[in-house]
Amino acid sequence: MIRPVVYGADYSAYVRIVRLVLEEKGIGYELVPVDIFAADGIPSWYFDHQPFGRMPAFEHDGFRLHETSAITRYVDEAFDGPALQPIEPRPRARMNQIIGMLDAYAYRAMVWDV
Ligand SMILES: N[C@@H](CCC(=O)N[C@@H](CS)C(=O)NCC(=O)O)C(=O)O
């Protein structure tokens, strides 16, 4: 199997979400460290992977993705291993609601303030 690549810093909450999903699925992967807070700024090559300069970014067999919820859903659906999402529409919608809510309203407070 071609191992996916995750780009980002190991301390990042969003990078950890992707890594947790990969671990839960039992998938080996490579972590390429990217320091988006480096004094010299974000490395220019990284914008080809994540045009908004956030982390993580992800690549699998030439397929590049960014946005944590897209990456985690892709990993769950494209690889063998335990299914991580509910099948039924309502529990699945609730999952999507909670992820959307955390992305839209919680990131600033949880990552920068708490
Ligand atoms: N919408 C992005 C958000 C990712 C994100 O905000 N990651 C944080 C690290 S935990 C980041 O890059 N923060 C840098 C910043 O806020 O400038 C995703 O879902 O992947």
Mutate to test the pocket of ligand 1, among 55, 74, 101, 102 (most ligand atoms within 8 A of CB): 55
Q: Are residues 24 and 70 in the same domain?
A: yes
Residues 75 and 105 in one domain: no
Question: What average pLDDT is seen over the chain?
Answer: 95
Please indicate whether residue 34, judged by its CB atom, sits closer than 6 Å to ligand 1.
no
Q: Pairing mode, if any, of strands 57-60 and 5-7?
A: antiparallel
Are 10 and 37 found together in one domain?
yes
- Rounded to the nearest 5°, which phi and psi values hold at 77? -90, -25
Q: What is the pLDDT of residues 7-52, one digit of tens each?
A: 999 999 999 999 999 999 999 999 999 989 889 999 999 999 999 9
Run of H or E including 32? strand 30-32
The count of domains in the chain is 2
Encoded tokens for 8:
């980002």
77 lies in the same domain as 93: no
For the Cβ of 101 lying below 6 angstroms from any atom of ligand 1, the answer is no
User: Is 18 near ligand 1, meaning CB less than 6 Å away?
Assistant: no
Question: Which residues form the domain of 104?
Answer: 86-114
> Is 15 in the same domain as 44?
yes
d(CA 34, CA 64): 16
